[in-house]
Amino acid sequence: MSSESSKTTGLLGSRLEAARELAFVGREEEVAVFKAALYGGGCSVLYMHGPGGIGKSALLRRLAHEAAMAGRQVSAVDGRTLEPSPAAFEAEAGLVLEDAGAVLLIDSFERIQGLEGWLRERFLPRVPVGALVVIAGRYPPDMRWQADPGWAGALEVLALRDLPAVDAQALLDSRGVPAELRDPLLSFAGGHPLALLLGAAVAVKDGGASRRWMPDQDVVATLLDQLVGELPSAAHQHALEICAHAHMTTEALLRAALPQDAGRLFRWLRRLPFVESSSLGLFPHDVVRELLEADLRWRDPEGYAVMHDRIYAHLAERVRTAGDADVLGAVAALLYLHRDNGALTDFDRCRDEGEFQEEVLRPEDVPALLRVATAAEGPASAAGAAFWAGRQPEAFRLYRRTETGELVAFSAWLRLAELDERELAADPVVAAAWAHARATTPVRAGEHLAVSRLWVLPQHSANSPVLDLIQWRMIGNCLRAERMAWSYIAVRRPDRTWVRHLGHYGMRIIPEQPQLDDDAHTLFAHDWRAVPAQAWLERMNRLLLGGSADGPNTATAELAVLSQTEFSEAVRVALRQLSRPSALAASPLTRTRLIADRAGEDPATALGGLLRQAVDDLREDPRSVKFHRALSVTFLHGTPTQELAAEQLGLPFTTYRRHLTAGVERVCADLWHRELYGAAAS
């Protein structure tokens, strides 16, 4: 044997491939179809689909081996690690466009399912005759493949099912599972290859010592032990649990949830055999993720809640600080934590990621925008869209199909501080929102309200991934807005899902239903002064962890929204009550943002401290020292009468009154500024 041959046969990779070949059982029909295509007697595109863990990746490895044995050049694309864009796909798979003998294998296609139309219409027609493309994913192909006569002889579709009983037994044979443990294991796993392999690992470890094999929590723990192995420390265990909980784990997220040694633990995670990498971060295999999640929630629910809260806080902060282009991904990562608890997004539908792209509005897009608005809602609604596109073009986002560039939807987030008569007349939806705000708790100086409008072509108006993108943008706008008083989401003929989800998170339907083209629009309203963004996030978080949305936590109770006149009067009353904590406790100021910003303090104590500090702050300005003295003697020292206060200050009563009035006005103004702009405002 030559030295070169010896090197080749001695590679660890060769040993791994040989072990995989020995463990591979069944799938004779699928391999036969592939061989027919490989040798020129079958299809050009083989599309295999089946649920997670059904053995698609193992089958692709077997097909790669068959192709290599036939002397064909093989390339592979993994949807889990590929950006869902045509450019990224072509950069990875371009070889098959140049070589009629090439074989392209595409794994985890569900991760880039949004590219399916582009692949069918633009990429695959350029593949030379003789080349072979195999697609493997969780979901069956779009019906348009089979509706197109051109694909009738070129496409073969195979649905991967559980292994037949004989093949499942053969798999357990290959893994050396004791005979007495096979029946309960087969009962638990059926013919699901991954579950069989995980269960077989446990059974082999037992060595037949146990005659009873049941899929309880102990078995889950044992499966995890077999899959994950002995972990170096509790910190490594925690890092793995974080990776299972989050959609994608970055070093920054790991640092937020597990501050110590985040960099070292991230490097350890990425080397684990069941953890994959993508452009967005690390993620475990789906089955591993679910096992880890179920195990931690059962074993340590308090620890699970603490971990979740840290991840949730980090992702919420990402939403607030992300650049505009990254907002959708940041919101999606946050909502992923709600995937099993009534999230706005159907994450099973997120296989279509990449099918639609969001863009800003350009002048040349306006005619297409009007066509979509007319088709979606009629000419009156289109006229309103045209009006606002001229007034606030920056408020619009367009959504195009990646495959064709077709505009299928657009949304607008209209930011309104004042409205003139022309604006009120141009759009009944905006007029209804403005009227509701004025009649309820009006927009105050420095604040604005927002009205969300969306226009979606009828064929995409239900259960479409484009709606997910629009919803993510709306949530991002709500959480990132500054000094927003109200938000209104206008929906034409909302279905029960919209009503349930928006109501679930505090978006209330207002009585007014503006009419456009004889269609009523429902307005979902939220007062962000009464329930600010942070409190809204806490409400969502409680729902996620299985608590009540209306629990006793005062941090998430609705705040009082006072006009400036009401606020100033409440400050004057509270100054007179500084020495009476029970009276301060009844002040409406204790339910305002002013006090909510001082979380953790008793409201009456916090209000008293804030008033005293506001009086003391007047000393910092030489022009206000005389005001400070008047307020200090009157309110801080508890002087019984104003006449006595003037006498103590050595001032004429009229001068004292002038200083006192000016000082109170300064305190009112300073606290009002804080109420509007937050505690950090000077």
Q: Strands 515-516 and 519-527, how do they pair?
A: antiparallel
**pLDDT exceeds 60 at position 381:** yes
The pLDDT of residue 434? 94
Kindly report the length of the chain: 682
As a whole number, mean pLDDT of residues 403-413 equals 92
Q: Which fold has domain 351-556?
A: Aminopeptidase (3.40.630)
Distance between CA atoms of residues 281 and 266, nearest Å:
10
The pLDDT of residue 78? 93
- Per the DSSP assignment, residues forming a β-bridge with 410 are 398, 455
- Give 28's Cβ-side CA count (13 Å radius): 4
Distance between CA atoms of residues 274 and 282, nearest Å:
10
Q: Tokens in use for 15? A: 């040993």
> Of 195-209, 366-380, 637-651, where does the model show the most confidence?
366-380
CATH superfamily for domain 27-159: P-loop containing nucleotide triphosphate hydrolases (3.40.50.300)
The pLDDT of residue 344? 52
Mean pLDDT across the chain: 84
As a whole number, mean pLDDT of residues 291-306 equals 88
Longest dimension (CA), the chain: 114
Of 252-256, 431-435, 462-466, 605-609, the range with the lowest mean pLDDT is: 462-466
Of 5-9, 461-465, 610-614, the range with the lowest mean pLDDT is: 5-9
Coarse DSSP helix, strand, coil percentages of the chain, rounded to the nearest 5 percent: 60, 15, 30
Distance between CA atoms of residues 189 and 508, nearest Å:
46
The pLDDT of residue 550? 45
**pLDDT exceeds 70 at position 228:** no
Task: For residue 557, give the nearest of 532, 574, 581, 540 by alpha carbon.
Answer: 532
Distance between CA atoms of residues 244 and 285, nearest Å:
9
Q: Percent of the chain scored above 90 by pLDDT?
A: 40
**pLDDT exceeds 60 at position 622:** yes
Residues 10-48 as b or e (16 or more Cβ within 10 Å = b): eeeeeeeeeeeeeebbbbeebbebbeebbeeebbbbbbb
**pLDDT exceeds 60 at position 321:** yes
Q: Could you tell me the residue ranges of all domains in the chain?
A: 27-159, 226-337, 351-556, 564-677
Task: For residue 266, give the nearest of 294, 287, 235, 290 by alpha carbon.
Answer: 235
As a whole number, mean pLDDT of residues 180-200 equals 78
Using one digit for the tens of pLDDT, what is the confidence trace for 464-488?
788 889 989 999 999 999 899 999 9
What is the pTM for the complete model shown?
A: 0.68
As a whole number, mean pLDDT of residues 81-109 equals 91
The pLDDT of residue 8? 47
Distance between CA atoms of residues 266 and 263, nearest Å:
5
* 260 confidence band (pLDDT: 50, 70, 90): confident
**pLDDT exceeds 70 at position 396:** yes
Task: For residue 521, give the nearest of 549, 493, 540 by alpha carbon.
Answer: 493
The pLDDT of residue 103? 94
- Give 406's Cβ-side CA count (13 Å radius): 13
Using one digit for the tens of pLDDT, what is the confidence trace for 2-46?
444 444 456 776 676 666 666 678 888 999 999 999 988 788 999
- Stronger pLDDT, 260 or 523, i.e. the higher one: 523
Q: Do 444 and 676 touch, CB atoms closer than 8 A?
A: yes
Question: What is the sign of the dihedral through the CA atoms of 460, 465, 471 and 472?
Answer: negative
Distance between CA atoms of residues 499 and 181, nearest Å:
50
**pLDDT exceeds 70 at position 613:** yes
Of 1-5, 386-390, 518-522, the range with the lowest mean pLDDT is: 1-5
* 525 confidence band (pLDDT: 50, 70, 90): very high
**pLDDT exceeds 90 at position 155:** yes
- What are the Cα distances from residue 486, in Å, to 434, 478, 493? 9, 10, 22
HEC string of 201-218 equals: HHHHHHCCCCCCCCCCHH
* 226 confidence band (pLDDT: 50, 70, 90): low
Query: Alpha helices, DSSP H only, in 207-300?
Result: 217-228, 234-245, 251-257, 262-271, 286-299
Distance between CA atoms of residues 8 and 14, nearest Å:
8
Report phi then psi at 340, rounded to 5. -110, 15
* 205 confidence band (pLDDT: 50, 70, 90): low
Please name the residues in contact with 502: beta carbons below 8 A apart, sequence gap of 6 or more.
Answer: 489, 494, 524
* 553 confidence band (pLDDT: 50, 70, 90): very low
As a whole number, mean pLDDT of residues 649-671 equals 91
Q: Tokens in use for 625? A: 């020292």
Using one digit for the tens of pLDDT, what is the confidence trace for 577-597?
888 888 888 888 888 888 877
As a whole number, mean pLDDT of residues 99-123 equals 92
> Of 25-39, 452-466, 486-500, where does the model show the most confidence?
25-39
Q: Do 97 and 125 touch, CB atoms closer than 8 A?
A: no
**pLDDT exceeds 70 at position 229:** no
